[in-house]
Amino acid sequence: METRFVTAGVKRVGRGVLAACLAGPLALAPAVASDHRIALVPGGPHPYFAGWEPGLADAAKDFGIAKVEYQVPAEWKLEAQTQLLESLAAQGTNAFGIFPGDAVGINSTLGELKAGGIPSIAVAGCAKDPTDAAFCFSTDVFQAAYVGTKALIEAMGGKGAIVHVAGLLVDPNTTLREQAVQKAVDETNGAVTLLQTVGDTDNQEQGDQKINALLAAQKDKIGGIIATAYISSVVTATALRNLGDKRIKMVGIDDDKIVLNGIRDGFVAGTIAQNPYGQAYIGAYALDLLAGGCTIKADAPWITTPQTAHFVDSGTVVISEANVGTYAEDLKAVTKKMQATFKDTYLTCK
């Protein structure tokens, strides 16, 4: 059993190489569970995906998967991701979990993989239908942003002006989060207003510049900040601590230690923990089964989203001062419970 975690670029693979290698005997040879080679590939470098590593390691151990890899394109460009996928396929990887570098553009590669007998699922972000990804296993980002905004409004006493600091515009989840924030605001019937949405803050340099400029210019008008991306949350928590004023309430997403310390010290009201551990653990488990011949159950209780009709929510936990020290175990419990019924719920296996 081998578990490898690699962050690397990849040399360019010529046009048609993926199709050629998929046509070879390695891709078409029958495999048993111990022979499966599974890779999880995000759209580019980002700290969120580091949470996949322990989930993959535990999945390899618990399910007897021969080899799992976590590999990251050198940059957030679809071409870099597709080149990496081509390289891994040429090396014998026979199942992929993919965060789409582009929700539409990735579909041609997913189609080539399927044509060669290599199953794929979308993980942490969905490819847009019609797609050959078997399903999307991700946070229900709309619901997470909605719950986070509702928590922020409650922390503000139900009134005031909020700012939404949002993620990268290339991330297919960003639009859904913007819609969720607006829904929560609209439900207050004017008691809460959305002062501004600041996009492309899920990048350290841009996030620092935009969020600190926002606070310098408008902090007296802002009653709360909802941050719906990882780095956006870290930068906002840091900026509010530097201001030293706990009047502005903040709810973020993910569980970076800066955000968690902000909760402990009263500069952050809460954060929504996604489940990258579970995405990798159950994602690898499902890919192992698909590579072994299981098929998607047509009548499974899929969630329909604006991007796909085959969505499975990977789960979230709300972190507050009350559970800031124990939430990781809460996430593992969510994962184990889901895994116990996942096969029977979503797959047909002979």
Positions of the chain with pLDDT under 50: 1-15, 17, 20-21, 23-33
Nearest one of 132, 116, 133 to 22, comparing CA atoms: 116
Task: Give residue 18's pLDDT.
Answer: 55
Q: What is the pLDDT of residues 197-211, one digit of tens each?
A: 999 998 899 999 999
- Count of CB atoms situated within 10 Å of the CB of 93: 24
Write down the pTM of the prediction.
0.80
Task: Give residue 34's pLDDT.
Answer: 57
Q: What is the pLDDT of residues 220-263, one digit of tens each?
A: 999 999 999 999 999 999 999 999 989 999 999 999 999 999 99
Domain-wise residue ranges, the chain: 2-139+276-314, 141-273
Task: Give residue 108's pLDDT.
Answer: 96
Q: Kindly compute the dihedral angle of the four CA atoms of residues 240, 245, 247, 253, in this order, to the nearest 10 degrees.
A: 20
CATH 3.40.50.2300 corresponds to the domain 141-273: yes
Task: Give residue 15's pLDDT.
Answer: 42
Asked whether this chain's domains 2-139+276-314 and 141-273 adopt the same fold, the reply is yes
Residues 6+ apart with CB under 8 A from 284: 38, 40, 55, 56, 59, 60, 63, 65, 68, 97
Task: Give residue 259's pLDDT.
Answer: 97
Do 6 and 69 meet the contact criterion of CB atoms below 8 Å apart? yes
Task: Give residue 171's pLDDT.
Answer: 76
CATH of region 2-139+276-314: 3.40.50.2300
Task: Give residue 229's pLDDT.
Answer: 93
Instruction: Give the β-pairing of 295-296 and 347-348.
Output: antiparallel
